[in-house]
């Protein structure tokens, strides 16, 4: 456990810097093939989300954060979430009150949505549109802005 000293860089700043870009509200668009007819010559391409650069950059920043804090266990996001008694389901996570969660659990929530998006295309887009990603980033900023914040699991 470490206490941040005045002037020390905030632990989650590399993530919370994305707040203004996400608050703009343009996260990405579904790309659906309306041009091809499904024949061998013109197969229909599977729909996919074309994320805006801000979302792609946030995803990269989250992966970098997780890699830089490998010793915290946040990479094992499912167990990190479950260890806090949080039901691991999209609906439960979307409706979760994060106001009392520590930063690493919030990062684990974000990572879980990014990882699950690989299997459920558009999940990340949904969590951006419903405000969860912004809410989670705001929680991380709140943790960083607390004058006497003690960041569980992160050592200076």
The domain segmentation of the chain, as residue ranges, is: 13-146
Strands 48-51 and 150-151: unpaired
pTM of the full structure: 0.84
What is residue 4's predicted lDDT score, i.e. its pLDDT?
Answer: 46
Confidence of residue 23 (pLDDT cuts 50, 70, 90): confident
State pLDDT tens for residues 36-80. Answer: 988 999 999 899 999 999 999 999 999 999 999 988 889 999 999
> pLDDT tens digits, residue range 92-124?
899 999 999 999 999 999 999 999 999 999 999
Q: How many CB atoms lie within 10 A of CB 100?
A: 8
- Averaged pLDDT, 22-26: 87
pLDDT of residue 5: 40
Q: Is the dihedral of CA 72, 87, 19, 141 positive or negative?
A: negative
């Amino acid at each position: 456990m470490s206490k941040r000293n005045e002037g020390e860089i905030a632990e989650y700043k590399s993530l919370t810097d994305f707040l203004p870009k996400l608050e703009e509200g343009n996260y990405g668009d579904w790309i659906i093939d309306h041009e091809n007819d499904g024949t061998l010559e013109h197969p229909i391409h599977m729909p996919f989300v074309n994320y805006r650069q801000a979302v792609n950059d946030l995803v990269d920043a989250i992966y970098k954060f997780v890699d830089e804090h490998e010793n915290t266990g946040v990479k094992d996001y499912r167990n990190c979430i479950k260890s806090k008694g949080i039901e691991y389901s999209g609906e439960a996570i979307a409706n979760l009150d994060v106001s009392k969660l520590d930063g690493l659990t919030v990062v684990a929530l974000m990572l879980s949505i990014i990882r699950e998006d690989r299997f459920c295309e558009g999940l990340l887009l949904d969590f951006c549109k419903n405000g969860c990603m912004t809410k989670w980033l705001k929680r991380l900023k709140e943790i960083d802005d607390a004058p006497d914040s003690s960041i569980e699991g992160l050592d200076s």
